[in-house]
């Protein structure tokens, strides 16, 4: 079921009324929300292509039972693991580890099969082809269940926290099941930890005007982002360019990347806003997922602001367990690269081939550079040596980028040389810039980081590797034509300008000033605003709602 639809409104209003009517009956309320969550998942969005079949909810049941049972068994063996008898303690520790491995294999195996099977088959076929071995890849037609990347991580974190001793197992199966399936964030996040939601399920929620205002404001903001910016820009411009990039000029392809940057942020952050707002209307708080990411001054800060619940999940359950930054520099850089590589590959969707391998490595290597640039010594007495080192690294990077552009992307030699020179110049520029400084220095860092994310998104959005290559080749044609008249309407230009400008506004303008104005509006005025927004949604969607981009992940 999609948020910006009449179906969701018909679903949400009765659930809200019934859940608050059952506020004094906690068991009935939990069961109501649990049933509503499964209905929400199985109803599915009316999109093309159609959603995953309703019976894929069985995977939710499997993940819930698996982690609930493993958590109980791990906790049951915790006391015996501290036994003075070495044999008993060893047996208990092995048992705890076995149940943890069972949870890991069950969740990650399920995720790997449905999400990455076709990727490994395609990679094997490409490697065989490169080695001159004839191999016909089987067409498995695996279906990616909606939300599987989200709820498997959410459920798995519970078992890991119990194993670490940071969390006491939830005694109530129904409350644990609601934690896994809570419908506002079930299919596209935010990824909620057990210690963030489970304690709230043990308290009686309280209805207040402030809670209602917060929830309605977040939903209103999310709907505007999702439909007026995300869906409309996609339908009017970006989808067409990414479908047939060879039909567009260099300037139009580049503009499509900027437009997709607006679209992606509006789509995903809009979904998160609606999810947070719906949860608030039900009396619960779920974590924020975005914090003005395009205002980041470097890539590390960008990933601390973008999809924050995923970044912090992989930090806490992968980067830190690997040793974080406490080991040798080589180990630290490996841990950082692996974490960022998996952040990128988490976004992989079936059929995108090598795109996300490249995207993951682009961001992973950029994160390594970001760390090196932050921790390196900036001793003025050794400036000459630093200049030589920087220029040598820039030349090496340029050669690597030029070689990749020519041999992997199939670009003409002139375009490949441009890529090499551009990469080398950007490396020298960012290395030369001070980490801290005045407003101009900050603006330069923000602009450079923003454009790295924009340009790398060609691999994020392109439906396959060939399309990505065609997009890059088109941008580097440098043809004389600009954006052809009539391609974008004045309203679309206004949406692109507004969406880009919105990213760089101070957070308080919306979260404080606009929210305060929203709270002062009388009830009838709010009703009219939501009615007008609903009318605009129907006109823009023309009866065909678009699935959220992150449904593919």
For 429-466, how does the pLDDT look when each residue is reduced to its tens digit (9 = 90+)?
988 888 888 889 999 999 999 999 999 999 988 888 88
pLDDT of residue 541: 58
Give the pLDDT score at 35: 93
Taking the complete model, does pTM exceed 0.85, yes or no?
Answer: yes
Query: Alpha carbon of 85 to those of 75, 99, 164: distances in Å?
Result: 18, 21, 21
- The count of C-alpha atoms lying within 13 angstroms of the C-alpha of 260, restricted to the half-sphere facing its C-beta, is 23
Q: What is the C-alpha to C-alpha distance for residues 304 and 261, in angstroms, rounded to an integer?
A: 17
What is the structure's pLDDT at 507?
A: 85
Print burial letters for 10-34: b (CB count within 10 Å at least 16), e (below 16). ebbeebbeebeebeeebeebbebbb
| Domain ranges (residues) in the chain | 6-205, 209-307+449-553
> Per residue in 344-366, is it b (16+ CB within 10 Å) or e — as a string?
bbbbbbbebbbbbbbbbbbbbbb
Q: What is the pLDDT of residue 481?
A: 76
Q: Where are the alpha helices (DSSP H) in 247-382?
A: 250-281, 299-305, 308-314, 329-346, 355-375
344, HSE (Cβ side, Cα atoms, 13 Å): 26
Measure the CA–CA gap between 442 and 150, rounded to whole angstroms. Answer: 34
Structure tokens at 90: 């060893």
Q: What is the CA radius of gyration of the chain?
A: 25
Place of tokens 């991580």: 153
Q: Taken in order 178, 182, 187, 192, is the CA torsion positive or negative?
A: negative
CA distance linking residue 28 with residue 17, whole number of Å: 13
Query: SS3 string of 142-160?
Result: CCCCCCHHHHHHHHHHHHH
Q: Are 80 and 92 in contact (CB under 8 A)?
A: yes
- Please identify every stretch of the chain with a pLDDT value under 50, giving residue numbers as ranges: none
Q: Enter the DSSP assignment of 46.
A: -
Q: What pLDDT does 180 receive?
A: 93
Greatest CA separation found in the chain? 81
Tokens of 179: 């934690």
Contacts of 380 (CB under 8 A, 6+ apart): none
Provide the sign of the torsion angle of the four alpha carbons 434, 437, 439, 440, taken in this order.
Answer: negative
**Cα within 13 Å of Cα(134), Cβ side:** 0
DSSP category for residue 349 = -
Q: Tokens for 295?
A: 């205002």
Whether the CB-CB separation of 428 and 391 falls below 8 Å is answered with yes
Answer for the pair 197, 179: CB distance below 8 angstroms, yes or no: yes
pLDDT at position 18: 92
- Omega of the bond prior to 49 within 30 degrees of 0, cis? yes
- Alpha-carbon span 339 to 341, nearest angstrom: 5
pLDDT attached to residue 445: 92
| pLDDT value of residue 65 | 94
DSSP, collapsed to helix, strand or coil, labels residue 32 as helix
Q: Kindly list the catalytic residues.
A: 347
pLDDT, position 33: 94
Q: Are 278 and 4 a contacting pair, CB within 8 Å?
A: no
């Amino acid at each position: 079921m999609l948020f910006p639809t009449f179906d969701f409104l018909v679903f949400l209003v009765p659930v809200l009324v019934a859940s608050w009517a059952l506020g004094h009956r906690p068991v009935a309320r939990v069961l109501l929300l649990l049933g509503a969550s499964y209905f929400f998942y199985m109803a599915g969005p009316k999109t093309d292509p159609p959603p995953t079949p309703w019976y894929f909810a069985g995977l939710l049941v499997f993940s819930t039972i698996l982690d609930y049972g493993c958590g109980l068994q791990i906790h049951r063996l915790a006391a015996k693991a501290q036994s003075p008898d070495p044999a008993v303690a060893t047996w208990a520790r092995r048992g705890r580890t076995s149940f943890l491995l069972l949870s890991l294999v069950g969740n990650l195996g399920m995720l790997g099969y449905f999400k990455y099977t076709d990727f490994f088959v395609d990679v094997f076929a490409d490697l065989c082809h490169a080695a001159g071995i004839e191999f016909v890849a089987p067409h498995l037609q695996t279906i990616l269940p909606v939300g599987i990347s989200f709820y498997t991580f959410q459920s798995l974190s519970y078992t890991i926290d119990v194993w670490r001793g940071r969390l006491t197992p939830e005694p109530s199966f129904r409350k644990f099941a609601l934690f896994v399936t809570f419908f506002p964030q079930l299919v596209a996040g935010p990824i909620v930890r057990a210690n963030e939601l489970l304690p709230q399920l043990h308290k009686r929620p309280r209805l207040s005007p402030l809670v209602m205002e917060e929830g309605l404001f977040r939903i209103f903001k999310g709907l505007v982002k999702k439909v007026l910016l995300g869906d409309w820009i996609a339908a009017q411009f970006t989808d067409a360019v990414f479908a047939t990039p060879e039909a567009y000029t260099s300037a139009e392809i580049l503009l499509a990347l900027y437009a997709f940057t607006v679209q992606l942020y509006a789509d995903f952050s809009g979904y998160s806003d609606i999810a947070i707002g719906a949860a608030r209307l039900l009396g619960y708080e779920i974590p924020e997922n975005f914090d003005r990411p395009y205002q980041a001054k470097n890539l590390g800060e960008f990933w601390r602001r973008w999809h924050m619940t995923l970044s912090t999940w992989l930090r806490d359950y992968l980067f830190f367990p690997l040793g974080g930054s406490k080991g040798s520099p080589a180990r630290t850089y490996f841990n950082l690269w692996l974490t960022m590589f998996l952040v990128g590959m988490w976004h992989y969707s079936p059929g995108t081939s090598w795109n996300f391998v490249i995207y993951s490595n682009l961001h992973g290597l950029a994160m390594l550079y970001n760390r090196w640039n932050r921790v390196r010594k900036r001793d003025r007495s050794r400036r000459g040596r630093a200049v030589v080192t920087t220029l040598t690294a820039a030349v090496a990077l340029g050669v690597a980028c030029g070689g990749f552009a020519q041999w992997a992307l199939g670009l003409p030699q002139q375009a490949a040389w441009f890529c090499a020179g551009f990469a080398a110049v950007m490396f020298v520029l960012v290395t030369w810039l001070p980490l801290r400084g005045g407003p101009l220095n900050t603006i330069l860092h923000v602009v450079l980081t923003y454009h790295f994310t924009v340009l790398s998104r060609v691999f994020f959005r392109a439906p396959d590797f060939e399309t990505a290559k065609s997009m890059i080749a088109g941008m580097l044609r440098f043809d004389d034509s600009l954006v052809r008249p009539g391609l974008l309407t004045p309203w679309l230009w206004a949406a692109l300008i507004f969406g880009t400008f919105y990213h760089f506004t101070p957070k308080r303008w919306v979260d404080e000033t606009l929210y305060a104005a929203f709270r002062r509006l009388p009830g009838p005025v709010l009703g009219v605003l939501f009615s007008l927004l609903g009318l605009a949604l129907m006109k823009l969607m023309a009866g065909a709602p678009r699935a959220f981009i992150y449904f593919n992940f």
